[in-house]
Amino acid sequence: METDAPYLTPTPYRGRPNASYLVPVTMRAMAEVRGADLGELCAAVDRNTETAFGGSW
Protein backbone atom coordinates (compact mmCIF):
# COMPACT_ATOMS: atom_id res chain seq x y z
CA MET A 1 0.00 0.00 0.00
CA GLU A 2 1.35 3.36 -1.00
CA THR A 3 1.68 5.93 1.76
CA ASP A 4 4.41 8.24 0.46
CA ALA A 5 2.63 9.52 -2.66
CA PRO A 6 1.60 13.03 -1.64
CA TYR A 7 -0.97 13.48 -4.42
CA LEU A 8 -2.70 10.11 -4.02
CA THR A 9 -4.29 10.73 -0.65
CA PRO A 10 -7.66 8.95 -0.63
CA THR A 11 -11.00 10.71 -0.37
CA PRO A 12 -12.12 12.26 2.00
CA TYR A 13 -8.55 13.28 2.89
CA ARG A 14 -7.60 14.44 -0.62
CA GLY A 15 -5.45 17.58 -0.45
CA ARG A 16 -3.82 16.61 2.84
CA PRO A 17 -0.41 14.93 3.07
CA ASN A 18 -0.62 11.17 2.62
CA ALA A 19 0.43 9.13 5.66
CA SER A 20 0.39 5.57 6.96
CA TYR A 21 -2.73 6.17 9.07
CA LEU A 22 -4.66 6.33 5.77
CA VAL A 23 -3.76 2.78 4.66
CA PRO A 24 -7.11 1.38 5.92
CA VAL A 25 -9.00 4.02 3.92
CA THR A 26 -6.97 3.13 0.82
CA MET A 27 -7.56 -0.61 1.34
CA ARG A 28 -11.33 -0.09 1.64
CA ALA A 29 -11.35 2.04 -1.52
CA MET A 30 -9.32 -0.58 -3.42
CA ALA A 31 -11.68 -3.35 -2.35
CA GLU A 32 -14.69 -1.31 -3.44
CA VAL A 33 -13.21 -0.42 -6.85
CA ARG A 34 -12.15 -4.01 -7.47
CA GLY A 35 -15.39 -5.49 -6.20
CA ALA A 36 -13.28 -7.58 -3.83
CA ASP A 37 -13.88 -8.75 -0.29
CA LEU A 38 -11.89 -6.47 2.04
CA GLY A 39 -10.64 -9.35 4.19
CA GLU A 40 -9.46 -11.32 1.18
CA LEU A 41 -7.71 -8.26 -0.27
CA CYS A 42 -5.97 -7.58 3.05
CA ALA A 43 -4.84 -11.21 3.22
CA ALA A 44 -3.49 -11.01 -0.35
CA VAL A 45 -1.55 -7.83 0.44
CA ASP A 46 -0.18 -9.49 3.58
CA ARG A 47 0.97 -12.55 1.59
CA ASN A 48 2.58 -10.35 -1.07
CA THR A 49 4.36 -8.30 1.59
CA GLU A 50 5.67 -11.47 3.23
CA THR A 51 6.88 -12.77 -0.16
CA ALA A 52 8.54 -9.48 -1.12
CA PHE A 53 10.12 -8.54 2.19
CA GLY A 54 10.10 -11.70 4.33
CA GLY A 55 9.98 -11.51 8.08
CA SER A 56 7.00 -11.47 10.37
CA TRP A 57 4.72 -8.46 10.47
Residues 48, 27 contacting (CB under 8 angstroms): no
pLDDT of amino acid 44? 95
Q: What are 1-5's contacts with CB under 8 Å, separation 24+?
A: 1/26, 1/27, 1/45, 2/26
User: Which stretches does DSSP call E strand in the chain?
Assistant: none
Q: What are 26-31's contacts with CB under 8 Å, separation 24+?
A: 26/1, 26/2, 27/1
d(CA 10, CA 55): 28
pLDDT of amino acid 22? 87
Instruction: Show pLDDT as tens, one digit a residue, over the chain (57 residues).
Output: 766 677 778 888 888 888 888 889 889 989 999 999 999 999 999 999 899 988 765
Domain ranges of the chain: 1-25
